[in-house]
């Protein structure tokens, strides 16, 4: 079965950096568009970034543009989210998602999801 396993979250201070990883198995990774979302309790899961199958195209939410970067390594079946200049408002559970065809920001359109990794940014 398909599994997406996130890792790399933790407790950091404002201004610090983190790299989140999402290891995929059970699917042909290079044929999937990958995305990152985040969610806080009581709030909707929001789009953070996405990357095309080859890695040649990316898109980020305005709230993280210039600070977060998404990348992938198809040889390792892994997608990354590089979080720089972290702010307390970036605190959330971060999820990776996969879909074969959807190139957008709607969480409902991604087919597979990981279990999430917590990122907490203290001020």
Evaluate whether 12 touches 73 at the Cβ level (below 8 Å).
Answer: no
- From the number of C-beta atoms within 10 Å of its C-beta (0-12, 13-18, 19+), residue 71 rates as middle
Query: Residue 26 has what pLDDT?
Result: 97
Q: What pLDDT does residue 105 have?
A: 87
Tens of pLDDT, residue by residue, the chain (123 residues): 999 999 999 999 999 999 999 999 999 999 999 999 999 989 999 999 999 999 999 999 999 999 999 999 999 999 999 999 999 999 999 999 999 998 988 888 999 999 999 999 999
Q: What is the DSSP letter of 18?
A: E
Distance from C-alpha of 123 to C-alpha of 37, rounded to nearest angstrom: 22
- What does the DSSP assignment read for 66-107? TTEEEEEETTTTEEEEEE-S--GGG-EEEEEEEESS--SS-G
Tokens 């396993």 appear where?
Answer: 5
Please report which helix (H) or strand (E) contains residue 64, including its range. none
């Amino acid at each position: 079965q398909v599994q997406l396993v996130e890792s790399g979250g933790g407790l950091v201070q404002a201004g610090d950096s983190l790299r989140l990883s999402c290891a995929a198995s059970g699917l042909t990774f290079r044929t999937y568009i990958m995305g990152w979302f985040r969610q806080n309790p009581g709030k909707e899961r929001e789009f953070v970034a996405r990357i095309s199958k080859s890695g040649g195209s990316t898109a980020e939410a305005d709230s993280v543009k210039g600070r977060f970067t998404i990348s992938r390594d198809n040889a390792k079946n892994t997608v990354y989210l590089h979080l720089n200049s972290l702010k307390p408002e970036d605190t959330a559970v971060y999820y990776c998602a996969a879909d074969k065809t959807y190139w957008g920001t709607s969480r409902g359109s991604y087919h597979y999801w990981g279990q999430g990794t917590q990122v907490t940014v203290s001020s």
